[in-house]
Amino acid sequence: MIVNEKVAIDHGLKKDEYKKICELLKRIPNLTELAIFSAMWNEHCSYKSSRKHLKNLHTKGKKVIQGPGENAGVIDIGDDDAIVFKIESHNHPSFIEPYQGAATGVGGIMRDVFTMGARPIANLNSIHFGSPQHKKTRNLLRGVVKGIGGYGNCIGVPTIAGQTNFDESYNGNILVNAMTLGLVNKKKIFYSKAAGINKPVIYVGSKTGRDGIHGASMASAVFDDKIEEKKPTVQVGDPFTEKLLLEACLELMGDDSIISIQDMGAAGLTSSSVEMASKGKLGIELNLNKVPCREDKMTPYEIMLSESQERMLIVLENGKEEKAKKIFDKWDLDFAVIGKTTETKKIELFFDNKKVADIPIDLLAERAPVYDRKWKKIKLPQSIKFKKQDFKSLKIEGCLIKLLSHPNICDKQWIWDQYDHTVMGDTIQKPGGDSGVVRIHGTTKAVAASVDSSALYCFAHPLSGGKQIVCESWRNLISVGAEPIAITNCLNFGNPEKEKNMGEFVECVQGITEASKYLDFPVVSGNVSFYNETKDRGIKPTPSIGGVGLIKNYENMVSMDLKNNGNIILVIGKTIGHLEQSIFAREILSEKKGPPPEINLFNEKNNGLSILKLINEKLVVSCHDISLGGILVAISKMCIKSKKGIKLNSLKGLINKFEYFFGEDQARYLIEIRKDNLTKVDKILKDNSIHYDELGYVIDKNIEFSDEIKLSVDDLEKTYKNWLRKYMVN
């Protein structure tokens, strides 16, 4: 094929980008070289629209060992233990082929983690689907859940937490964000930076096939009516092979054989080889005839772009080849010496004794395009003043029942029942709580993790929404007794070439940066997913935040289920009654306008650290943060979880009761304490100038409020648990 402008455009390159490639090379690239440029210069690999803004993220911290720029971030949890973690998107593939798209998303993120020498210990996910009424939603949900479970369950890593949301903006672009945590000795961390000249470059794992070709480019494109034609770009996963690859890599990592190691993820052999060489300021030479292939007559173009799964690229020390080969032979995996590092600072490819590509590495990495795209600032919406007549016909109990059965609040057990959350035997808080928690085997320590997003807040005001979702992650970790340490982010947005979309991204990043810096909650890894758009309609801005925290003694962990009758329930934090952008305003009052709730970072930090102090002093027996749906939804979940009830106090100076019970003011928690600890708790809270309300006390089986409300917890449980199960069997 003769390479020209049209061919370049067909590969996802812009006219000016193709022109620049020709200028940099001082010639027209051949087809293989053009494919390499198209892979490395696409949005998914180059971050060309986001790089300028990502530099502003807060990434440093006392416990940060490795921040952004590696396969995953690394944090120190003491005693030479470190946690490696990252979240990443697999959105487009999951919409095209939900089972394999979701499965390979899980496989890919786990490889990012064990590539660094860590054994995966927990998986999480954040998945977003279109309206439940949309014709594709049910099947997409079913396929994605089966894919996540099918891969994670087979490889033997527990799925400990997650999030599932529905919104019509995802009708044409679902989101599948997968997160993995791994445990590693901090003295045995492996990196992707190549080093040394004439070092053998090794291919290990599965054979290369034609699946996934142009997968990275597809992830950087908008969808149209021809989406079904893109199925061949979706990778096919094999969790059993991944398990073998995991064990073989960890075994090889037991000595000093490996110089660098890189997963073959997006853009496959192209990105892995270029990234290793680029980080090491070296060249790399590959003989593509030596790449193990499972299909006949594969071309250099296909070999370099294939995204076949369960593959790694390794730079070894000289003389270690035979030892390494024995390990991979034992695990029945392919092992091939396919090239060497060079001093040329080029990627040079050979096939059938001919040089088929010759490109300076810096043209693919450092000199890849970086765009300063125009963006539109989003103003804070004007406040909505609700009137008494807006609530006149409403009853508290009716509103609560409707909200508990809402798709974004209802119980998601149908989903996590399909995930193995107890394998490995260290899960001590399973899905359904504020955070999942796993023990660090053989120690008193435990690691908590959660994943959250808030597209509605971000859509209303991206700056506020960005701050809020970091704070939500912070609260979810605090609520189980974990000290928040760091976050990973997956930034899901529409077409960045549109000023509004780019503005949403820029201001969400600004909000994330501001909150993470104030809370000392740095970003250590992440991913950007643009072009989540179909037929000119993009998704709501959806940054997903994965938070990780440490519980030094897991006996101090708390859960959200109520414990004993007579215990007092406190609302920590001031309740103003902010209804705008709340699920109550949208679903009960049919009001979608107004600003999201105010984010007071001082209150978030002060309230959170004070709750943590109370937990560590064993003054709290249960805890739950107040978020979607407000106080009454939060306490209902605590009651349902424990099959206990609450007698609500008649609160003095109560604002409109609907605003009080359903407002989504931030920086708030519900805590359960013993009566005899109230004086101690009161002193700590007052010493820190923290407002609290005494909401009520624990009773059996009912939620009671004076003579107005008496709701059976059993009935609420049926409402809460039935919607998703009924939806999925229809």
**DSSP one-letter code for 208:** B
pLDDT digit string (tens) for 31-82?
A: 999 999 999 999 988 999 999 999 999 999 999 999 999 999 999 999 999 9
Q: Does residue 348 carry a pLDDT above 70?
A: yes
pLDDT at res. 217: 47
Q: Which of 90, 128, 406, 578 is catalytic?
A: 90
What is the rounded average pLDDT of the residues 443-457?
Answer: 97
| CA 317/CA 200 separation, integer angstroms | 7
Whether the predicted pLDDT of 228 surpasses 50: no
d(CA 336, CA 234) in angstroms, rounded, equals 25
- Cα separation of 578 and 655, whole Å? 11
Cβ neighbourhood burial of 524 (10 Å; 0-12, 13-18, 19+) = buried
Q: Is 53 a catalytic residue?
A: no
Identify the pLDDT of residue 219. Answer: 46
Helix 713-729 × helix 396-404 angle, to 10°: 40
Tokens of 345: 């600072």
Model confidence at 615: pLDDT above 60: yes
Amino acid 578 reads: H
CA distance 255 to 252: 6
Helix ranges restricted to H, 116-238: 137-155, 215-218
User: CA 340 to CA 284: how far, in whole Å?
Assistant: 6
Q: Which of 44, 53, 214, 578 is catalytic?
A: 44
Burial 118-140 (b: 16+ CB within 10 A, else e): bbbbbbbbbbbbbeeeeeebbeb
pLDDT of 171 over the 50 cut: yes
Which has the closest alpha carbon to 152: 128, 124, 117?
124
- Whether 555 contacts 444, CB under 8 Å: yes
- Taking residues 389-397, report their average pLDDT: 93
Q: 432: helix, coil or strand?
A: coil
Looking from the CA of 184 toward its CB, the CA atoms found within 13 Å total 29
Q: What percent of the chain has pLDDT over 90?
A: 92
* Contacts of residue 324, Cβ cutoff 8 Å, sequence gap at least 6: 202, 252, 257, 314, 316, 335
Distance from C-alpha of 116 to C-alpha of 84, rounded to nearest angstrom: 8
Quick one: pLDDT at residue 233? 56
| pTM of the full structure | 0.95
Q: What is the pLDDT of residues 216-227, one digit of tens each?
A: 444 444 545 554
Write phi, then psi, for 147 (nearest 5 degrees): -65, -45
509 vs 81: CA distance, rounded Å: 30
Q: What is the 3-state secondary structure (H, E, C) of 265-311?
A: CCCHHHHHHHHHHHHHCCEEEEEHHHCCECCCCCCHHHHHHCCCCCE
Residue-wise pLDDT for 89-123, tens only, equals: 999 999 999 999 999 999 999 999 999 999 999 99
Q: Are 37 and 27 in contact (CB under 8 A)?
A: no
Q: 255 is written with which tokens?
A: 């000595």
Residue corresponding to tokens 């003295």: 187
Comparing 20 with 210, the larger pLDDT belongs to 20
706 has a pLDDT exceeding 80: no
Type and span of the H or E element at 711: strand 709-712
What CA–CA distance (Å, rounded) separates 13 from 7?
9
**pLDDT attached to residue 290:** 98
44 assigned to active site: yes
Cα 666 from Cα 532, distance rounded (Å): 29
Size of the chain in residues: 730
Determine the average pLDDT of the residues in 125-133.
97
Who's near 254: CB < 8 A, 6+ residues apart?
none
Residue 567's CB is within 10 A of a number of other CB atoms, namely 20
**pLDDT tier for residue 21 given thresholds of 50, 70 and 90:** very high
Lookup: tokens for 722 = 């039935």
Torsion of CA 493, 602, 525, 413, to 10 degrees: -70
pLDDT bucket at 232, cuts 50 / 70 / 90:
low
* Closest listed residue to residue 669, CA positions, set 721, 621, 608, 617: 608
